[in-house]
Amino acid sequence: MRHLLEAAHLSREEIRSIFDTARAFGPKIRNDESIPLLQGKAIVNLFYENSTRTRSSFEVAIRKLGGVAMNFAASTSSAAKGETLIDTARNLEAMRPHAIVVRHASAGSPYFLTKYVSVPVINAGDGFHEHPTQGLLDALTIEEKLGTLEGKRVVILGDIAHSRVARSNIHILKKLGASVAVCAPPTLLPPKPETLGVDYAYRPEELLPDADVVMALRIQLERQNRMQIPSIREYSAFWGMNQARAALLKPGCIILHPGPINRGVELDTELADGPRSVILDQVANGVLIRMAVLAKLVVPEATAEWLKKNGGNRA
């Protein structure tokens, strides 16, 4: 891997290798031991859209690997004075960082950046295209909780049409052997949902009884020109995960949400904070996945060597 731009590009082997690295880092991180693979390295966090989890967990990941995070927020930078993405990236690259993590509202912008900078680029979310590290951390969390993804049924419920999380998840979950179904009102599904390579339904009740995993997604109002549902209240009544719908689930079924949650809209508080929820495990695994991706892209040989010494299966 030279960059991480989209989950669609990742092979099953590459996904497994990232998981093995993340799992090998886990015990050290839980014991507060250092893994100084990025000592002396600087990583740019170039965020043109708001973020709580992704930006913070990349920053924590960089620090836990001994590196320095150079944080950039568009709202407090010269982007607010009209500087372009390319000029910004080239100026930051002149400061000699070792990788650039980028979130941008335009689909394809991380790929575009690779044409102008020479360091590895990691996609932290581009428009409604992809969010590959989110897909990886979600799949790792499901494997951790259910043992395997092979043969598991994952139902993704919410605004599929505008969700980069759904796209990255679909690619990764299918490669790891899960069967995926999506559910939303027709206006929040892509025009031809079957082109995603998944099953789909308009009503959650059709899919929930067979689910091993339910992933609830937020309505991405920031990516819609106009509201595509009659009202939030109606959406919540017909598509929200609530106690009545949770009663349809199998006993071991787990609930994920990438955050931020709009409580009472796509997911009720009793479920978000209840025993089926693995939402905070997703956040914890986000640090490990981002550490693994950074280490493998920035210092691949040193990472392979570290894994050999510390029990990772694959370099």
* Smallest separation (angstroms) from ligand CP to the CB of 203: 26
Which CB, 209 or 260, lies closer to ligand CP? 260
Q: 260: cis peptide before it, omega within 30°?
A: yes
Task: Say how many Å lie between the first and final Cα of the chain, rounded.
Answer: 12
* Smallest separation (angstroms) from ligand CP to the CB of 137: 9
**Cβ neighbours of residue 24 closer than 8 Å, sequence gap 6 or more:** 307, 310, 311, 312
Q: How far apart are CA 164 and CA 222, in angstroms?
A: 13
Calculate the alpha carbon distances from 250 to 118, 207, 212, 244, 278 in Å. 49, 11, 7, 13, 16
Which CB, 222 or 234, lies closer to ligand CP? 222
- Binding part of the chain for ligand CP, among 46-54, 63-71, 81-89, 299-307 by CB under 6 A, reads 46-54
Contact between 223 and ligand CP by CB under 6 A: the answer reads no
Among 17, 45, 134, 236, which residue sits at the site for ligand CP (rule: CB under 6 A)? 134
Which CB, 185 or 258, lies closer to ligand CP? 258
Among 52, 75, 106, 187, which residue sits at the site for ligand CP (rule: CB under 6 A)? 52
Which CB, 51 or 303, lies closer to ligand CP? 51
* Smallest separation (angstroms) from ligand CP to the CB of 81: 25
Q: Report 53-72 residues binding ligand CP (CB under 6 A).
A: 53-54
Rounded to the nearest 5°, which phi and psi values hold at 102? Answer: -130, 135
Binding mask 225-264 for ligand CP (x = CB under 6 A): ---------------------------------xxx----
Answer yes or no: are the C-beta atoms of 161 and 167 closer than 8 Å: no
Which CB, 258 or 312, lies closer to ligand CP? 258
* Residue 77: strand, helix, or coil: coil
Tell me the site size for ligand CP, rule CB under 6 A: 9
* Residue 161: strand, helix, or coil: coil
Closest CA to 50 of 231, 223, 252, 300: 223
Please name the helix (run of DSSP H) or strand (run of DSSP E) that holds residue 26, with its range, or none: helix 12-30
Contacts to ligand CP by CB under 6 A = 51-54, 125, 134, 258-260
